[in-house]
Structure 1
Amino acid sequence: MEDNKGNEREELYSQRVRAGKRTYFFDVRTTRGGDYYVTITESKKVFNDEGFYYQKHKIFLYKEDFNKFQDAMNATFNHVKDELLPMLISHSSIESMSQIPIQRINNKK
């Protein structure tokens, strides 16, 4: 069996984010030519009859794409925060108000 250790890239930086059932890894690695790139990995523990395994999805992001990727990511997050979250919060407030007994609303000063 061939040894894969020669294919491993040196890890320069790593950040782990635990988010519910998922864990995200942000890693900076070197290329064969001494350059660097970022990998973003989503890892999720999946159970089956034989136990469990980790389902992983990975994005390789090369430095020439960093600015475009960051711009698109920021625009996407800003859209969610500015356009979608206010609607969800507003809708959630209306929903929670509808669950308050009428008597309590009338007696509230």
Structure 2
Amino acid sequence: MDEKENFKEKNEICSRTLKTGSRTYFFDARETRAGDYYLTITESKKNFTETGEIIYKKHKIYLYKEDFSKFQNILDDMIRFIINEKGREVISERHQKDFKNHSFHHQEMKEKRISDSKKFTNVNFEDL
């Protein structure tokens, strides 16, 4: 076994996998040459070519210990924001049979508000 292969084996410390439909997330603790640890997060998404061949697109984030706290704070803030704004229910065409396109739904609501506003009489405070 050469030095590069030996380092690669030693480099992989701990791994966890999260499979979610067409995506798989890999969380890997790895070791630097100096002996410290860092985290890689890889998203692998299954796609198909025009010929039907399966391909996997991968995106990777390298996260080092000096950034853990700031990264975790921002990630926690963003998750809280999304849950507070939209709740935990998944809203998507893929997950809901009665899903309406977001922009189409907003246009319908805007038209309804305009229609409803025409039902009221404009009154100026100066008129009272």
SS of match in other structure, 2:76:
helix
- Higher radius of gyration, 1 or 2: 2
Q: 1:62 to 1:78 in 2, by over 3 A?
A: same
Q: 1:86 to 1:46 in 2, by over 3 A?
A: closer
Are 1:5 and 2:12 an aligned pair? no
TM-score of the pair, normalised by structure 1: 0.70
Partners in 1 of 2:15 and 2:58 — Cα distance?
A: 16
Q: Whose RCO is larger (CA < 8 A, sep 6+)?
A: 1
- Offset of residue 5 of structure 1: 2.5
SS of match in other structure, 1:13:
strand
Could you tell me which runs of 5 or more consecutive residues in structure 2 were left unpaired when the two chains were aligned.
92-97, 99-128
Aligned match of 1:45? 46
Aligned match of 2:69? 67
Partners in 2 of 1:86 and 1:43 — Cα distance?
A: 24
Are 1:27 and 2:11 an aligned pair? no
Partners in 1 of 2:88 and 2:58 — Cα distance?
A: 32
SS of match in other structure, 1:34:
coil
CA RMSD, 1 decimal: 2.7
After superposing the two structures, state which structure 1 stretch, 55-64 or 42-51, moved more. 42-51
Can you list the C-alpha shifts for 1:24-58, whole angstroms capped at 9, x where unaligned?
Answer: 01110000110110000000111112612211000
Partners in 2 of 1:38 and 1:44 — Cα distance?
A: 20
Partners in 2 of 1:10 and 1:86 — Cα distance?
A: 37
- Offset of residue 84 of structure 1: 2.0
Task: Compare the two structures and name the one with the higher strand fraction.
Answer: 1
User: Paired residues, what number?
Assistant: 89
Q: 1:81 to 1:38 in 2, by over 3 A?
A: same
Could you tell me which runs of 5 or more consecutive residues in structure 1 were left unpaired when the two chains were aligned.
90-94, 96-109
Q: 1:50 to 1:61 in 2, by over 3 A?
A: same
SS of match in other structure, 1:64:
helix
Partners in 2 of 1:4 and 1:54 — Cα distance?
A: 25
